[in-house]
Amino acid sequence: MAEANLAELLAKSTKNYREGSIVKGHVLEIRSREFLIDIGYKSEGVVRADEFEDPEEVEVGDEVEVLLVRLENDEGMVVLSKEKAAQRQNWEKIVAVFKEGGLIKGKVKAVVKGGLTVNVGVESFLPASQIDIIPPRDLTQFVGNTYDFKIVKINDDRKNVVLSRREIIEAERAAKRSSFLGSVKIGDKVSGAVKNITDFGAFIDLDGIDGLLHITDMSWARLNHPSEMVKIGDQLDVVILDINKDKERVSLGLKQMQDNPWDKIEERFPVGQTVRGKVTNLMPYGAFVEIERGVEGLIHVSELSWTKRIARPSDVLTLGQEIEAVVLGVNKDEQKISLGVRQLEANPWDEIEQRYMIGKQVSGKVRNMTAYGAFVELEEGIDGMVHVSDLSWTRKINHPSEMLKKGDDVEAVVIDIDKANQRISLGVKQLENDPWKDIETRFKIGDLVKGQVSKLANFGAFIQLDGEIDGLVHISQISEDHVEKVKDALKVGQEVEARVIKIDKAERRIGLSIKAANYSMEDLKKESEAFENSVRPGEDMVGLAQAFQFAQEEYRPGESKKKK
């Protein structure tokens, strides 16, 4: 009878123990990595220590709820899980929180691929992008910490939960932004930490809203980059310059916290005053010099020297160099100061007439040439210019390269000085007497002369005579036969014999005739009359200003002759 009652009691005590059910038990023994749990069954079960949130605080006798995974394993022990029991108990709570859009507290357990695992009653996933507004690089800093989370996704079948901490932070910041924008006004002084730095400025965290501190509002002095003034994490006191509530933008100023150094600038730096400063920036057009904290002046490249040809300020100045300069101008409204270095010395052009008097013979080296003349360096930075018309009394010079080349040493005469524009005019031909003054003693009408063809034009040919004087043979005076093109009858360099048929001293022109070389004086007189009638109106071929102009158009040194 007693044995039957014992069997009945055992059956009653075990009939409620079903695998998958949640049962209560007590901690029977604490081991190194697990706890022995007594659930009132014929054998005890074990639960891993890492299934407890705080395993160090578990004591013998503590009551725990566990999930009965298996009644007996191969060793005859009950297989239990505290974590799975909690998951089942918490799942309905999690679903309810998700539907209501509420928050749930959880503890970060570990770093996994793509984010963190979090225990919110069930193991959940927190993507790295949802940890903070700016995804952190080091995820380990969050492990072991407890935070509030928003549930953004659940999968009831797989019991998966995805969390977000970022949405909570964004909501908090939105509330702070709204509160901040409603409580401040332009001119208020606020404090914040430098959050980010760009090329154009720095963003300041103003307790939920980012304010922009533009580079131009950081300092009264010149800055090349905001990092010269601030660094991330710096705590700054700034003033609000502008507020756009619709776009939630705030403009900040740091330099406005200090007095404007440009106030009374004209009194502190009057024109003509000598100042000392440091070169802070070198540009192709000039050098910036800081003459006071927050005050810079510009030395234009043209104000570095009276005479030296300085292409770039960096050729003579270096960053950080201490220099002296003279104040040339002050513009308070535009916050600009013009400085000059050359004003520290006397201008050599002030006494140029005493050093290079008109008529004085000078020497120098050809520094450069243009189509209209050659520049001759008389001393460092002082050039004189020889115009093409002042190279020769007798030759028609179209380009200075016909007589000069760069680097040549030349002698010349000062013929004019333009002090205002700092120009000296030189002449090479003035070294000799003008041969046209006594031309009538060297050439007479009817003279038979010899020369060399120097240039060809469509209307005739220039013949270089003795003494480098040019005469002109009109196309009609080349041959008894009709000449269609000058180049068919004559070549440059060809030696010819001709007769002088006209001399115009005023226009410096000599008319020649090749076909009249063998004429008698009577024939020559007839030919001269015929020649006068053959030229085009206005082309007084012996007066030949127009003809020589045609020659210039037809011929250029170094260029091929035009085809006719």
Nearest-angstrom CA–CA distance, 461 and 455 = 6
Report residue 113 CA to chain centroid gap.
Answer: 42
For 149-198, how does the pLDDT look when each residue is reduced to its tens digit (9 = 90+)?
A: 999 898 877 778 899 999 888 888 888 877 788 778 888 888 888 888 99
Q: Which domains does the chain have, with CATH numbers?
A: 2-84 (2.40.50.140), 184-257 (2.40.50.140), 265-344 (2.40.50.140), 348-431 (2.40.50.140), 439-554 (2.40.50.140)
For 96-139, how does the pLDDT look when each residue is reduced to its tens digit (9 = 90+)?
A: 888 888 888 889 999 999 999 998 878 889 999 998 887 888 88
Residue 1: predicted pLDDT: 44
**Top-confidence residue, 307 or 240:** 240
Q: What is the pairing mode between strands 78-81 and 63-70?
A: antiparallel
Nearest-angstrom CA–CA distance, 369 and 375 = 6
For 264-305, how does the pLDDT look when each residue is reduced to its tens digit (9 = 90+)?
A: 888 888 999 999 999 998 999 999 999 888 888 999 998 998
Average model confidence (pLDDT) across the chain? 82
Residue 16: predicted pLDDT: 62
Least confidently predicted of 318-322, 364-368, 557-561: 557-561
Residue 529: predicted pLDDT: 66
**If pLDDT is split at 50, 70 and 90, which confidence band does 555 have?**
very low
For 18-49, how does the pLDDT look when each residue is reduced to its tens digit (9 = 90+)?
A: 877 888 888 888 888 889 888 888 888 888 88
Task: Write out the two tokens for 313.
Answer: 């300020």
For 400-444, how does the pLDDT look when each residue is reduced to its tens digit (9 = 90+)?
A: 988 888 988 999 999 998 887 888 899 988 888 877 777 777 888
pLDDT at 544 over 70: no
The residue-averaged pLDDT of 383-392 equals: 88
Half-sphere CA count of 437, side-chain side, radius 13 A = 4
- Percent of all residues in the chain with a pLDDT value above 70, rounded to a whole number: 90
For 190-208, how does the pLDDT look when each residue is reduced to its tens digit (9 = 90+)?
A: 888 888 899 999 998 887 7
Q: How many residues are listed for the chain in this entry?
A: 564
Long-range contacts of 515-524 (CB under 8 A, 24+ apart): 515/477, 515/478, 515/479, 515/480, 516/477, 517/448, 521/446, 524/446, 524/499
Q: Who contacts 20 (Cβ-Cβ below 8 Å, separation ≥6)? A: 67, 68, 69
3-state secondary structure of 293: coil
Report residue 282 CA to chain centroid gap.
Answer: 13
**If pLDDT is split at 50, 70 and 90, which confidence band does 554 have?**
very low
Nearest-angstrom CA–CA distance, 427 and 269 = 46
Residue 505 · residue 451 · CB < 8 Å = no
Nearest-angstrom CA–CA distance, 259 and 120 = 55
Q: Phi then psi for 473, rounded to 5 degrees?
A: -100, 115
Nearest-angstrom CA–CA distance, 465 and 509 = 12
* Number of other residues whose CB lies within 10 A of the CB of residue 322: 9
